[in-house]
Amino acid sequence: MNKAHLKYLFFVTKPYSFSILEPIQDVIINSNCGDVKWFAASSATKYSCPDDQLKSNKEVLEYDPDAVLVPGNVVPHFWPGLKVQIFHGLDEEVKGFYIITGFFDLYCTTGSVMTKKFSAMAKQKKHFLVKETGWPKLDPIFKNEWDFGNQKNQLIKQYSLNPELPIILYAPTFPPKYTSAPDLLDAIKKLKSVKYNWIIKFHSLMDESIQKKYKQLENENLRVVDELNILPIMAGSDIMITDTSSVAYEFLPFDRPLVTYQAIARKNKGINIQNPTELVSAIERSLNNPREFSAYRQSCLQDIHPYADGNSANRVLTGIGEILANGLQNDLKQKPQNIIRKYQIRKIIAKSQV
């Protein structure tokens, strides 16, 4: 990778963004190829940043970053540095994944499907670049950071679960139009005291009234957890249940059974059910034949994330270094005015400094 010593700024607005960028920070620190600062805004301000944090626009301007890395859709346009989109999830399950907000100089894509679509738009718009890098959040999985047996035992101990029972992770998406949480509530209620351990992990934006209903189900077999990083829970789970959430694709590298509820894309990545009454049979089928959809899972990964070397963070940093070294960002066309979005991001930054 490029060894130029650069100044990086990580801009996060959601709690789940930290785990996306932390593998990049680890590479920077371990290779001593730059400095890292964090800036948290919006709902991310409730959590402590993993490293040095900047807390004002003035501090950012004084730091003068070479690159600003963002796992979100917007970034302060008035900050210095190459604006880099890392993405907050995988694949295009729901509408809006390929919207170009007009803030970024570089899109770091995860695989051939995404690269093809973003490259076509880059050729047309000419105000951003595209590099295929893989997704840094998945690096720890491919580096075998978690052993299944050890991690499962850790989850059982951490949440006081039954060591004799399989662990089912339920992680639904939050938009009312797509979430499975209301539909599956009664089905999970009936299953909470039988032969499974349940760990329920909601998106940070999930409706609080729905979260409350699930918390009322808690017993010795069912836990509702609030963790920033879902990967360690995935690593120790026998099965995951979800819907259109992009966490379905994060689970694929573990090559374990996946049950989706009314999925929209790539339905053969697991058992896709249409009705809550199908949940029990889908769980049992998954436990009895965990390898059933393995070939489909691997095929899906080849499209959306073919990199299994755990070096996506390295590729992101190499891409940034090459662009800056060659001044490629200077050849980009002017970005759209974005008056409304620019006003909104100024408000977000102003509020974070209060």
Domain of 174 in residue numbering reads as 145-304
Residues 322 and 291 in one domain: no
State the burial class of residue 285 (Cβ atoms within 10 Å of its Cβ: 0-12, 13-18, 19+): middle
User: String of b and e for 22-39 (b: at least 16 CB within 10 Å)?
Assistant: bbbbbbbeeeebbbbbbb
- Specify the residue for token string 């004799």: 164
Q: What is the DSSP letter of 221?
A: T
Predicted pLDDT of residue 287: 97
Residue 1 lies in a domain: no
Residue 109 lies in a domain: yes
Residue 226 lies in a domain: yes
Residue 189 lies in a domain: yes
Predicted pLDDT of residue 3: 60
Enter the tokens of residue 62. 């004084």
CA separation for the pair 122, 116 (Å, rounded): 10
Question: How many residues are given for the chain?
Answer: 354
Q: Which residues pair with 224 in a beta bridge?
A: 200
Residues 199 and 282 in one domain: yes
- Specify the residue for token string 């090459």: 322
Enter the tokens of residue 121. 């738009």
Contact assessment for residue 166 and residue 197, using Cβ atoms and an 8 Å cutoff: yes
CA separation for the pair 324, 144 (Å, rounded): 32
Please state, in angstroms and as integers, the Cα–Cα distance from residue 188 to each residue in 98, 164, 200, 213, 277, following that order: 34, 19, 10, 11, 10
CA separation for the pair 299, 340 (Å, rounded): 40
Residue 275 lies in a domain: yes
CA separation for the pair 89, 114 (Å, rounded): 12
SS3 assignment, position 15: helix
Residues 196 and 335 in one domain: no
Contact assessment for residue 68 and residue 83, using Cβ atoms and an 8 Å cutoff: yes
Residues 60 and 122 in one domain: yes
Contact assessment for residue 197 and residue 156, using Cβ atoms and an 8 Å cutoff: yes
Residues 134 and 40 in one domain: yes
Predicted pLDDT of residue 204: 87
Residues 174 and 270 in one domain: yes
Residues in the chain with pLDDT values less than 70: 1-3, 92-96, 354
42-85: per-residue pLDDT in tens? Answer: 988 888 777 789 999 999 999 999 999 999 999 999 999 999 99
Give the total number of structural domains in the chain.
2
Find the CATH number of the domain harbouring 28.
3.40.50
Find the CATH number of the domain harbouring 227.
3.40.50.2000
SS3 assignment, position 143: coil
CA separation for the pair 264, 220 (Å, rounded): 34
- Specify the residue for token string 């930290």: 18
**Which of the listed residues 288, 304, 320 is the one where a domain comes to its end?**
304
Residue 318 lies in a domain: yes
Residues 167 and 184 in one domain: yes
* Axis crossing angle, helix 294-304 with helix 112-125, rounded to the nearest 10: 20
Residues 134 and 152 in one domain: no
Residues 135 and 193 in one domain: no
pTM of the model: 0.94
Residue 153 lies in a domain: yes
Residues 114 and 18 in one domain: yes
Residue 58 lies in a domain: yes
In the chain, the amino acid numbered 50 is P
Residues 169 and 192 in one domain: yes
Predicted pLDDT of residue 84: 98
Contact assessment for residue 80 and residue 105, using Cβ atoms and an 8 Å cutoff: no
CA separation for the pair 128, 124 (Å, rounded): 10
Dihedral sign for Cα 55, 58, 62, 63, please: positive
Residues 340 and 227 in one domain: no
Predicted pLDDT of residue 125: 96
